Amino acid sequence: MRLSRYFLPILKETPKEAEVISHRLMLRAGMIRQESAGIYAWLPLGHRVLDKVCDIIREEQSRAGAIELLMPTIQSADLWRESGRYDDYGKEMLRIKDRHERDMLFGPTNEEMITEIFRGSVRSYKQLPLNLYHIQWKFRDEVRPRFGVYRSREFLMKDAYSFDLDAEGARHAYNRMFVAYLRTYARMGLKAIPMQADTGPIGGDLSHEFIILASTGESQVFCHKDYLDFDTPAEDVNFEDRAELQVLVDRWTDLYAATEEKHDEAAFGALPEAEQLSARGIEVGHIFYFGTKYSAPMRAHVAGPNGQEVPVHMGSYGIGPSRLLAAIIEASHDDKGIIWPEAVAPYKVGLINLKRGDEATDTACEALYEKLSRAGVEVLYDDTDDRPGGKFATMDLIGLPWQLIVGPKGLADGTVELKHRSSGEREILSPDAAVVKLVG
């Protein structure tokens, strides 16, 4: 993409309303724009990252056996009356009357609707296990939306729902998602620790929040230090193997880890002091096993092997792509701007033309842009008339992993400069060598 034809509204000044670094950087880097309190437009650069985050989530959901569908944003209140949650949910639910005065709502989550879809067509245990997920916009009418997309009112959520014949099957479904989540975060460069958590309005008795440690985190969390050194489950983990998954999950849950609501001071205090980790955390995922909480009242039954009808055992598994972007930035930035992990970077390379209008420089840049693009490398080419200083600052701010800097002086020696954003390392090399390095 040529910057001269792109829409990247960089802010020169730090917006006053932004309290946390991720919010400030997303506004400054032209990734988002607030449209109403807690409601954001995703500008092109932000939208690209959001897409990449969603793609990683999809790959890991699919690997774990979940199937994608897409439920609507607007739901009927009647569904929520069936489960008994319509009144429970309070003012966070955005309630709507349509032109025929029917009670509708903007879905804050989808347990009811997916249960309705399930009961409409699944009759036998033979169709189980089943895990259905979607990535859709949700709305929660927070009293005080804040921190940008970290706690916004309209937000994107991947929510998966598992259906099993019994508690044992549901436990396997839970473990699949547990492991898929660990892999998802790791691929985005995040170290997330699963912690025992409150179940809130979703309900159930088994639940973990996945927490990123960050000084700007909203909640206090407590865990064993060793979690920081745990390895991520490998790509070839066998999601069908119940025992293998259970061993993995046991390893990731045996040591102490709890959010403030579930914190047990005595158990935590019993750890040797050097192993205690008390820190601020950002919640980036929440998974639940809630058995028959929805299937029983909503009569989502299947015939078991003996022919008898039983309500299915369910779990739900949420991860917020929009919030994840904020978490990634909180975990990866410096005083100059964002430092994107390569897997979610909006572009891999920022190509900087130091002297637009200089024929040799323009020609070299065009050739590099062409070669890299043809090789499938995503390049943002700064072909504008701005001064070099401004170009460097913009590239540092938007945090692309590599900067390829091309100017007349270097070209006179047959060289360009390649800068690695995260390490700050710079290398002088020939244009061809730069292409080889970036493509490889």
Asked if 373 contacts 365 with a C-beta cutoff of 8 angstroms, the reply is: no
Asked if 35 contacts 148 with a C-beta cutoff of 8 angstroms, the reply is: no
Containing 11, the helix (H) or strand (E) segment is: none
Report if residue 120 touches a copy of itself, rule: CB under 8 A: yes
Report if residue 189 touches a copy of itself, rule: CB under 8 A: no
Asked if 149 contacts 25 with a C-beta cutoff of 8 angstroms, the reply is: no
210: tokens are 């996945």
Give the single-character DSSP code of 409: H
CA 187, distance to chain mean position in Å, is: 10
C-beta closer to a copy of itself: residue 144 or 231: 144
Residue 119 CB, nearest approach to a copy of itself (Å): 11
CA dist 242 → 122, 197, 215, 270 (Å): 24, 23, 37, 32
Q: Binders of a copy of itself among 225-264, rule CB under 8 A?
A: none
Binding residue (CB under 8 A) for a copy of itself from 19, 68, 168, 235: 68
The count of chain residues that interact with a copy of itself, using the rule CB under 8 A, is 52
205: tokens are 């008795």
Asked if 151 contacts 283 with a C-beta cutoff of 8 angstroms, the reply is: no
- Assign 20 to helix, strand or coil: coil
Report if residue 70 touches a copy of itself, rule: CB under 8 A: yes
CA distance 118 to 298: 11
Report if residue 130 touches a copy of itself, rule: CB under 8 A: yes
Please state the φ and ψ torsions of residue 2, each to the nearest 5 degrees.
-85, 130
Q: Which stretches of 297-397 are assigned E, i.e. beta strand?
A: 301-303, 309-311, 313-319, 333-334, 337-338, 349-353, 379-382
Burial of 309: CB neighbours in 10 Å, binned 0-12, 13-18, 19+? exposed
CA 152, distance to chain mean position in Å, is: 14
Residue 138 CB, nearest approach to a copy of itself (Å): 10
Helix 321-331 with 44-63: angle, nearest 10 deg: 110
Residue 239 CB, nearest approach to a copy of itself (Å): 11
Query: Between β-strands 103-106 and 74-76, what pairing exists: parallel, antiparallel or unpaired?
Result: antiparallel
What x-and-dash track marks residues 85-114 binding a copy of itself by CB under 8 A?
Answer: ------xx-x-x-xx--x-x-x------x-
C-beta closer to a copy of itself: residue 106 or 288: 106
C-beta closer to a copy of itself: residue 114 or 188: 114
Residue 269 CB, nearest approach to a copy of itself (Å): 41
C-beta closer to a copy of itself: residue 91 or 420: 91
Report if residue 121 touches a copy of itself, rule: CB under 8 A: yes
The one segment of 138-146, 263-271, 340-348, 420-428 that binds a copy of itself by CB under 8 A: 138-146
Report if residue 141 touches a copy of itself, rule: CB under 8 A: yes
Q: Binders of a copy of itself among 3-62, rule CB under 8 A?
A: 5-7, 9, 30, 33, 35-36, 39-44, 46-47, 50
Report if residue 81 touches a copy of itself, rule: CB under 8 A: no
C-beta closer to a copy of itself: residue 124 or 246: 124
Q: Which residues bind a copy of itself (CB under 8 A)?
A: 5-7, 9, 30, 33, 35-36, 39-44, 46-47, 50, 65, 67-76, 79, 91-92, 94, 96, 98-99, 102, 104, 106, 113, 116-117, 120-122, 130, 132, 137, 139, 141, 143, 153-154
